[in-house]
Structure 1
Amino acid sequence: MNNKEQIFLRSALTLEGAVMSSANVMPWFWSRQDAHRFRLEKIPFSELSKWGFDADTGNLCHESGRFFSIEGIRVKTNWGSVPEWDQPIINQPEIGFLGFITKKIDGVLHFLVQAKMEPGNINMIQLAPTLQATRSNFTRVHQGKSPPYLEYFIDRSNSKVLFDSLQSEQGARFLRKRNRNIIIEVEHDIPVYEDYCWMTLGQVLQTMRHDNIVNMDARTVISCISYGGSDGIQVTQGGLGASLLRSLDPLNRSEYSNEAIISWFTEQKFKYDLGIERIPLRIVHGWERTDMCVRHESGKFFSVIACAVEADNREVSSWTQPLVKAHQQGLIAFVAKEFKGILHFLVQAKVEPGNFDVAEMAPTVQCLTGSYEEAAPEDRPPFIDYVLNAKLEQVCFDTLQSEEGGRFYREENRNLFILAGEDFPEEVPENYIWMTAAQLKEFIKYNNFVNVQARCLLSSLSFI
């Protein structure tokens, strides 16, 4: 029980924390919302403070040149049924911190979790990592306070790094955006500020069964955790927990070797073209700007809006900013099937305009808007009808989960995990492949392989 994979697994199997009981997790969460004053109001673009449309490009930018901007891109690709389009996109080239501080309490690893307000959050607050900050935030471009616990991630001389990697953000919304996902462990006592608490990983995973409680940033960091085999640790006999644990053991046999997966993935990136040209927002074809939003002329996809925000527990108590608002609920789903007793996930190589390197490994089905509902049969995403028509006993996980609330306005996706029946074909389209959970975890260790939707969905699966 000395290696970190076993330490993480024990924490994931512990539902009663040494600091907070599971029965008190949700009451504590709602008490933090009640303890603060939050206000969000949609406003005209003309009422934005320190933000504005550039006179030449029409790009929506902050006067400091920091934080992020809304720009235009022109996309040309041979992937999918639409070969060319224009769209607005978030350009945020700086890398931020998404990090958990952990500590063993009574022999079990606990995570320092934050009840964090973000303007676009459903519920206004959601459970977040210990530190969630862009470079503009932690360098105090906003002239506010430094984020709590920043010093532990800047100076790690008194801590141990358990995981540290750059991970991509939403490729359909961000232009080549990455954040530093990091987990550190401290041995000494540290202060626990208001709106923070220690929870076991098992408590966090159980909380993910609720709609829109654990934010996207917490889920992506947790997805980076590897567990390995149980090595004698008792888990629920039978059921998804035991199957998932076998799938997470890298010693168990997989349908495809890691080398075969790399070759398959390289072939997909070789086969598909992705041409991205940055263009001024004012000339983005098919989109229009009104006093209140930038939107597609069809009314579909998403729009860019402006909001005024007040929060008494943030580094700055009031501000205005743009947010991206989805027009429909999306769908994210993994289909899984056992091969020789080992659970495999059906993974697709998905091309999105903001990707660093053409394609990333994505869930079986990923539709960030509900536009598929009106699509012709030949244009509907593969396997979407299988997912939507799955029998109740096949559905192992089904919740609504939010996208990141600092940039997206109340955007949520239905997250599903479906166990395929014997009727599900083993042969799949060439841009799909079967992978074990251990293989997905292995590729998460490296930059720009597994996309944020796949990571977040994988992080939601628990053993109990």
Structure 2
Amino acid sequence: MSGVSATTRGALRAGAGTAPEASLVESMLATSGRFAGDADFDRWLAGMRERTSMSVEQVALADLRDWTQDPVTGNLRHRTGKFFTVESLAVDYPAGPVTNWTQPIIHQPEIGILGILVKRIDGVLHCLMQAKREPGNQNGVQLAPTVQATRSNYTRVHQGRPVPYLDYFLNPVGHRVLTDVRQSEQGAWFYQKRNRNMVVEVAADVPVLDGFCWLTMGQIHRLLRVPDLVGMDARTVLACLPLGGPGWGTILPFDDDFGAALAHSCDPRSGAAWSLTEILSWVTGMRTRTEIRARLGPLVAAEGWLHRDGRISHESGRYFDVMGVQVRAAGREVGQWTQPMIQPRSDGIIAFLVRPIDGVLHMLVCARPEPGFADVIELAPTVQCLPGNYGHLPADQWPPFLADVLAAGPEQVRFDAVLSEEGGRFYHARNRYLIVETDAVPAGDRDDYRWLTLAQLTELLAHSFYLNVQARSLVACLRSLLTGAPARPGPTR
């Protein structure tokens, strides 16, 4: 098992005792496991791509089988009344740059399960990951959690095969639950969507089915550098793990200033620009003061959205489309189906500006309202946008700090990878995820931004609806820098 020195392993165990943090960070620092190296994993992944197939054909919304468009409301609904609907959302935001608008939105009130099963193998914690094809994936197979299923899926509304490993998460009694928390998803495209994010540790042997493999956390986090490989659902679950603890600044093996600041940022005893109590009060105040009203309504009432060419598009040509796909798949619970999806008009940029403050790395987060959030505001990255939506505007009307991110030199960029969003509802939705070091942005410059440490973000992730899904992905990307391993080349396709 490479990547973990005996000295570091001993320090972790001494510092954290029997707490799960010790085994988690040991797994983070292990860059080999059941797969001895990158080449072994690449061969396995190539084999999965050869043995599985999925054809996805774009079709008109009117041609979706088992989906109907209500003749009065225009809402798209499955014949069972399950899965999800596509409706309109009317938004009033008096203090916003746009004070009111309507838009299509996915309404999926079910709470799904995103779960990763973990087990000690040769003394090191491994995660059971799934090579999964989704109709919206840019490159076909991506790494997904052990279980990634909506309630309609796992209750088998589609009359398909059972979801493997599901019972470990529906009935975790007798196993060690490392994290179990409800989290939101994209508040611009989903209306109050929540998933249960879980990590469950088992001691007994677990049969490894075709399409699944054991990876250390270090291996998974290195794979985050590979474009479009580690899926969004895996990233959000990994982010919710309680990684961090007292003494991390001295235990983790970094000898450069940035690495040392990042390690100290994982320690809750390190100094922070704002206390956690002050951060919680700030979030509560922002939620209380922010007036944003969102009401579901008929899709035909979405002003400025046109039904043309078999899809629904905005008259400006910006934002996103609602389109349909016909899917044929091998190895899935159901072999073929049709469904509507959201297709963004361009790739996005998701970025944290980061800086050391008194030797502790801080991330600049934004208290961001989105119309689909259950509680008005969640903490978001410094920058979260589709730049194509602002190309017609002068730079002084761009989202705050976008220009800082775009102007960053190579020496400032600590992480840079294009990663896919959830491929079950979004078609070819991709964002460029960036972590950019800066010394030019003052702390406390705007009331809707604050500097937080990684330990504070980790503490907030133990609770629901504090960090949005984009920020959770960036937390996983930040943690990938803790491995101290060089950037991993992508597998051959």
Task: Sort the TM-score into its range (normalised by shorter chain).
Answer: over 0.9
Deviations 1:281-310 (A, max 9, x none): 012100011251011011110000010001
Q: Deviations over 1:323-353 (max 9, x none)?
A: 1000011110000111110011001000111
Relative to structure 2, which stretch is displaced further, 174-183 or 229-238? 229-238
User: Which residue identity lines up with residue 120 of structure 2 in the other structure?
Assistant: K
1:20 Cα deviation (Å)? 4.5
The total of aligned residue pairs comes to 463
Q: Which residue of 1 aligns with 2:463?
A: 446
Corresponding position: 1:425 with 2:438: no
In the alignment, the residues of structure 2 paired with residue 40 and residue 214 of structure 1 have an alpha-carbon distance, to the nearest angstrom, of 20
Helix, strand or coil at the partner of 2:427: coil
Q: Does 1:206 align with 2:222?
A: yes
SS at match of 1:448: coil
Match of 1:235 among 230, 233, 253: 253
1:268 deviation in Å? 1.4
Displacement of 1:239: 5.0
Change in CA separation of 1:266 and 1:110 when aligned onto 2, cut-off 3 Å:
same
Does the C-alpha gap of structure 1 residues 22 and 241 become closer, same or farther in structure 2, counting only changes over 3 Å?
A: farther
Which residue of structure 2 lines up, in the alignment, with residue 171 of structure 1? 187
TM-score (norm 1): 0.97
Q: Which amino acid aligns with 2:356?
A: E
- Pairing 1:11-410 to 2, within 5 Å after superposition: 11-229=27-245, 233-368=251-386, 370-410=388-428
**Contact 1:326/1:369 (8 A) holds in 2:** no
| Aligned equivalents of 1:216, 1:29: Cα separation in 2 | 18
Q: What is the alpha-carbon distance in structure 2 between the residues aligned to residue 49 and residue 240 of structure 1?
A: 53
Distance 2:46 2:307 in 1: 38
The structural deviation recorded for 1:372 is 2.4
Query: Match of 2:430?
Result: 412
Q: CA RMSD in A?
A: 1.3
Rounded Cα–Cα distance in structure 2 between residues aligned with 1:201 and 1:243: 21
Which residue identity is paired with 1:334? F
Aligned-residue offset at 1:245: 1.7
CA distance in structure 1 between the aligned counterparts of 2:288 and 2:364, rounded to whole angstroms: 21
Q: Deviations over 1:107-141 (max 9, x none)?
A: 11000000001100011110000000000000000
| 8 A contact 1:166–1:178 mirrored in 2 | yes
Shift of 1:234: 4.3
What is the CA distance between 1:153 and its match in structure 2? 1.3
Please, which moves more after superposition, 153-162 or 291-300? 153-162
Deviation sequence 1:166-194 (CA, Å, 0-9, x none):
00100000000000000000001011000
Asked if the contact 2:443/2:450 (under 8 Å) is kept, the reply is: no
Cα 1:307–1:450 change in 2 (3 A) is same
Deviations 1:401-427 (A, max 9, x none): 111000000110110000113x33234
Letter in 2 for 1:217: D
Cα distance in 2, alignment partners of residues 389 and 65 from structure 1: 48
Give 3-state SS (helix, strand or coil) of 1:270's partner: helix
Residue identity opposite 1:318 in structure 2? Q
Q: Which runs of 5+ in 2 are unaligned?
A: 1-12, 485-493
CA contact (8 A) 2:59 2:326 kept: yes
Q: Counterparts of 1:54 and 1:288 in 2: how far apart (Å)?
A: 16
TM-score in terms of structure 2 length: 0.92
Secondary structure (helix, strand or coil) at the match of 1:374 reads coil
Conserved 8 A contact 2:35-2:41 = no
Q: Report the residue type matching 1:96 in the other structure.
A: G
Q: Quick check: 1:331–1:370 contact (8 Å CA) kept in 2?
A: no
1:457 lines up with 2:474 in the alignment? yes
CA drift at 1:446 = 0.8
Give the residue type in structure 2 aligned to 1:455.
Answer: R
Post-superposition offset of 1:233: 4.0
SS class of match (2:191): coil
User: What's the CA shift for 1:377?
Assistant: 3.0
CA distance in 2, matches of 1:376, 1:103: 52
The residue matched to 1:460 in structure 2 has which SS? helix
Greater shift, 231-240 or 5-14, is seen at 231-240
Q: Name structure 1 gaps, 5 residues minimum.
A: none
What does the per-residue CA deviation read over 1:206-228, in whole Å, with 9 as the maximum and x for residues that have no partner? Answer: 00001110000000000011222
Q: Percent identity?
A: 44
**Counterparts in 2 of 1:239 and 1:203: CA distance versus 1, 3 Å:** farther
Deviation of the 1:196 alpha carbon: 0.4
Comparing 204-213 with 283-292, which one deviates more in the overlay?
Answer: 283-292
Q: Equivalent residue of 2:432, what SS?
A: strand
Which residue does 2:487 correspond to in 1?
none
**Separation of aligned partners in 1, 2:386 and 2:114:** 23
